């Protein structure tokens, strides 16, 4: 299959995303850039899988291996630009505190999440994170551009497990920069759902975590505040929503219902 045929195939697959509040030309630019990067990624991963020389290395295998490599290396990074095609609240609950540590250590972190790949509670969590730059738009392909020197991408499968691949390949770096620019240009403001619009950013994050049934200690760890602060915020949230008990079934349903919207914000 030629590069042109592969690009067309990838673009066709990516077209399955939902309608966008941004211009079709912007959406198409993201798809084209993602497809071009995917072609480069696939070529490098295939060479590594076949044991052929490639300007890339597998740096971590399996979730634990990939996370361990990131933990060891990221302390020295100055800039981390990432795109994420999906996100669960459970992943953000753990990942955002780790990102805050890197930011306090001096790393500039900027991430574009795919709006339709985030579950509703995760959208609220991301939109109200105050440390770091987190945007929502179109980001159909996962990648991280580190210090504008190398790119992190999905690598070849190793012993049945996913891997993380780092590359300094010139063409891949150029494709990653182009994709990043396109994804960033596709972002849009995500307003808070009306019922929680009057809450502070942290209280909105509390709502998101409450909707998953998390206890005060878990919320405190996720938001890096004291349990006492969480209880104060929970009381304010429940008062605003007009309910008495966080454990009542009606409260759970009301909190969850606040977040259940798949409609994108207007242009």
pLDDT by 10s per residue, the chain, length 267 = 444 444 344 334 434 444 456 688 999 999 999 999 999 999 999 999 999 999 999 999 999 999 999 989 998 999 999 999 999 999 999 999 999 999 999 999 999 999 999 988 899 899 999 999 999 999 999 999 999 999 999 999 999 999 999 999 999 999 999 999 999 999 998 888 777 788 899 998 998 888 888 889 999 999 999 999 999 998 888 888 777 666 542 344 345 555 655 556 654
Q: What's the rounded Cα separation, in Å, for the pair 238 and 228?
A: 16
Structure-token pair, residue 174: 């150029």
pTM score, whole prediction: 0.86
For residue 207, give every residue at least 6 positions away whose Cβ sits within 8 Å of its Cβ, in sequence order, or none: 124, 196, 199, 237, 255, 258, 259
Q: For residue 14, give the 3-state DSSP assignment.
A: helix
Domain ranges of the chain: 3-185, 194-259
Q: CA gyration radius for the chain?
A: 20
Long-range contacts, 233-241 (Cβ 8 Å, 24+) = 233/202, 233/203, 233/206, 234/206, 234/210, 236/199, 236/203, 237/196, 237/199, 237/203, 237/206, 237/207, 237/210, 240/196, 240/198, 240/199, 240/203, 241/195
Fold held by 194-259 = Arc Repressor Mutant, subunit A (1.10.10)
Place of tokens 């759902």: 193
Token output for 1? 């299959």
Q: What is the pLDDT of residue 264?
A: 62
Domain 3-185 homologous superfamily, CATH: Endonuclease Chain A (3.30.870.10)
Supply 23's token pair: 């211009």
Let me know: does 39 contact 3? Beta carbons within 8 Å.
yes
Tokens of 203: 């209280």
Q: How far apart are CA 92 and CA 243, in angstroms?
A: 27
């Amino acid at each position: 299959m030629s590069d042109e045929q592969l690009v067309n195939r990838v673009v066709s697959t990516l077209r399955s995303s939902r309608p966008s509040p941004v211009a079709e030309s912007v959406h198409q630019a993201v798809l084209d850039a993602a497809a071009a990067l995917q072609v480069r990624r696939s070529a490098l991963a295939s060479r590594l899988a076949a044991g052929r020389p490639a300007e890339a290395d597998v740096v971590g295998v399996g979730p634990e291996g990939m996370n361990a490599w990131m933990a060891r290396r990221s302390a020295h990074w100055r800039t981390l630009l990432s795109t994420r095609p999906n996100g669960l609240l459970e992943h953000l609950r753990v990942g955002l505190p780790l990102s805050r540590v890197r930011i306090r250590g001096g790393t500039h972190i900027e991430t574009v999440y795919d709006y339709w790949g985030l579950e509703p509670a995760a959208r609220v969590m991301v939109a109200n994170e105050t440390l770091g730059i987190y945007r929502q738009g179109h980001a159909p392909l996962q990648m991280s551009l580190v210090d504008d020197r190398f790119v992190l991408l999905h690598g070849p499968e190793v012993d049945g497990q996913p891997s993380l691949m780092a590359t300094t390949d010139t063409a891949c770096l150029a494709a990653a920069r182009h994709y990043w620019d396109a994804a960033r240009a596709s972002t849009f403001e995500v307003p808070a759902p009306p019922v929680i619009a009057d809450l502070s950013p942290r209280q909105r994050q509390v709502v998101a975590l409450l909707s998953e049934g998390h206890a005060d200690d878990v919320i405190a760890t996720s938001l890096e505040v004291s349990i006492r602060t969480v209880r104060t915020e929970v009381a304010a949230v429940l008062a605003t929503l007009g309910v008495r008990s966080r454990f009542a079934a009606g409260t759970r349903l009301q909190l969850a219902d606040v977040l259940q919207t798949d409609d994108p914000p207007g242009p």
